Structure 1
Amino acid sequence: MFATERQREIIELINAKGAAKIGELTERFGVSVETIRRDLLELEKQNSLRRVHGGALRIPRSGEYLDRKERSGKNREKKAELVQYAAELISESDILMVDCGSTAVEFAVMLRERFERLTIITSCLDVFDALKNKESFELYLCSGFYMGRENAFYGPWVLESLERFHADKAILCPSAVSIQYGIMDYDRELCTIQKMMMARAGETVFLADSDKFEKSGFLKIADMKQDCILVTDSGLEEEIYNLYQENQIRVLRGKKDWPKASRVNF
């Protein structure tokens, strides 16, 4: 097989699966590791893929920005699944800062059902409404300018309120995650709040359904670092999951991965 033909097949494979490891490619094409590495380097120069440690990922696709009502009905089962895994990272009496969005609301509903003593800080009215009748919770709503499309508050008063707190964990729900581009979202005002929550918490946990992986957004919330903790559903492609693990990025994805992930200490 000529190099050009092999490289074309590599692109097709990665675009279909989202990712491929070097070992998988050497076995598939019967060539050496050095040959595959040269192929990947050449394809990256052509902007056909992105190399990472251990393999390559497809070029991140632009995520779709939907309004709150559209998002609330999308991937509902995936969100309900992933928040159950996120529950394993929460302890009674934790102080949590919780983001906005449909995943955040699913997370809030899970907290209401599974925990008795928590302190929750949020600027999202949907999260507040999901928790307001849980009398054993201590609930703080940071208010400011009202953003109707997200049913949430934003602006300097919210940021000033957040600065008064220190949380055990910030629970953020980005629109896109990518090894290359990092943790991303779309709204400038809400990204400012997300960054403040990260600054005021001991740990940050990102909740993202599997459709948000290897997508790009408009604004970067954070770099993809080795201390990132991502929680997703069991639908995340095996190839993408493996390369995140290869790059020492912690992803909790489904029950079968939880025993290994649960050894993470906070």
Structure 2
Amino acid sequence: MRSLQIVELVNDQRSVTVEELATAFNVSVETIRRDLKKLDKSGSLKKVHGGAVSVEQIDEGRSFLARSKDYLKEKESLVSRAVNYIEEGMIIGLDASSSSWCLARQIPNISCTIVTNSLQNVVALEGKNNVHVICTGGSYSEKYSSFYGPLSINTLSNMSMDICFISCVGFDYEFGVWDSNEYNYQIKQSLIDISDKVILIADKSKYKKRSLLKICENEAVDIIISDI
């Protein structure tokens, strides 16, 4: 009975945290985690870090083409600061954000390795013959011009990086870093998990915004580069 009610609640709200479910059903967090694991296995919902999302959820993310035109001058200014953290010999992770695309265009032609799930980043790095580029592969999203899914996640899980650069839909110094869809959010979490240093690039339009899925708490980010 509780399992059915959990699914109904998740479908109604689209995303729910473990703590919210534990409070709603007056059970322990551990009990809810076990429930979510079973429901995820049955395909009734999708278990994510810290909670669950509906399998009926809408992909709220905007396409790469649309995002690449937003606040372009501001993003280029921010990534000019981000470049200063890149050193020769580094292994660097880039997500599929438009900010990472701007960074890929500004990265100097030095000896380093770039790992990314973004086709646009790969194209931006063409001609930089000292930069070794690794693309994660996986299922391809034309909307996001990037690769995602289990193959991408598995590729990243077997790697270790010196630094990664990510962006987001929204961030807040109290409520953490947020994204709008599973395609991008899972890759960002994987990059965070395998990187020694995590840098968030986020222009002021993203400040104090939240979205469908929490990428991480603020403590997971080492440096925030913003113009707020």
Q: Same fold (TM over 0.5)?
A: yes
Q: Which runs of 5+ in 2 are unaligned?
A: 1-59
Residue of structure 2 equivalent to 1:116:
110
Where does the alignment leave 5 or more consecutive residues of structure 1 unmatched?
1-63, 237-266
The one of the two structures with greater contact order (alpha-carbon pairs below 8 A, sep at least 6) is 1
- Alpha-carbon deviation of 1:183? 0.5
Instruction: State the alpha-carbon separation in 1 of the partners of residues 111 and 189 from structure 2.
Output: 26
Aligned equivalent of 1:193, options 174, 187, 210: 187
Kindly provide the amino acid, as one letter, of the partner of residue 133 in structure 2. L
In structure 1, C-alpha distance between the alignment counterparts of 2:209 and 2:222, rounded to whole Å: 17
State the AA in 1 paired with 2:131.
F
SS at match of 2:151: helix
Counterpart Cα distance in 2 of 1:102 and 1:127? 9
Question: Scaled by the length of structure 2, what TM-score is found?
Answer: 0.71
Shift in CA distance, 69/227, structure 1 to aligned 2, threshold 3 Å: closer
1:135 corresponds to which of 129, 132, 156: 129
Letter in 1 for 2:112: L
| 3-state SS of paired residue (2:218) | coil
Could you tell me which residue of structure 1 aligns to residue 165 of structure 2?
171
Write the letter of the residue equivalent to 1:82. L
| Cα distance per residue 1:72-114 (max 9 Å; x no partner) | 1110000000001111211111110100021111010010xx3
Q: RMSD in angstroms over aligned alpha carbons?
A: 1.5
User: What's the counterpart of residue 212 of structure 1?
Assistant: 206
- 2:94 is matched with which residue? 98
- Alpha-carbon spacing, 1:138–1:148, altered in 2? closer, same or farther (3 Å): same
Contact map agreement 1:169 1:203 (CA 8 A) in 2: yes
CA separation of 1:70 and 1:106: change in aligned 2, threshold 3 A: same
Map of 1:66 onto structure 2: 62
What's the % identity of the aligned pairs?
A: 24
1:134-163 per-residue CA deviation (whole Å, 9 max, x = no partner) reads 111111011011111001011111111112
CA distance in 2, matches of 1:184, 1:203: 19
Farther-moved stretch of structure 1 (176-185 vs 77-86): 176-185
Q: Specify the SS of the correspondent of 2:197.
A: strand
Paired with 1:227 and 1:68, the residues of 2 have a C-alpha distance of 23
- Do 2:97 and 2:166's aligned partners in 1 also have CA atoms closer than 8 Å? no
Runs (4+) of structure 1 exceeding 6 A deviation are none
Q: How does 1:3-42 map onto structure 2 within 5 Å?
A: none
Contact 2:109–2:129 (CA under 8 A) maintained in structure 1: no
* Kept after mapping to 2: 8 A contact 1:92/1:115: no
- Please give the TM-score of this superposition, normalised by the length of structure 1: 0.61
Number of paired residues? 169
Return the alpha-carbon distance in structure 2 between the equivalents of residues 142 and 65 of structure 1: 21
1:226 and 1:174, CA in 2 relative to 1: closer, same or farther beyond 3 A? Answer: closer
Give the stretch that moved more between structures: 78-87 or 221-230. Answer: 221-230
Residue 149 (1) aligns with residue 149 (2): no
Whether 1:75 aligns to 2:71 is yes
- Alignment check: 8 A CA contact 1:177 1:214 kept: yes
- Tell me: CA distance 1:68–1:165, structure 2 relative to 1, closer, same or farther (3 Å): same
2:49 maps to none
Q: Which amino acid aligns with 2:65?
A: K
Give distance in 1, aligned partners of 2:220 and 2:170: 17
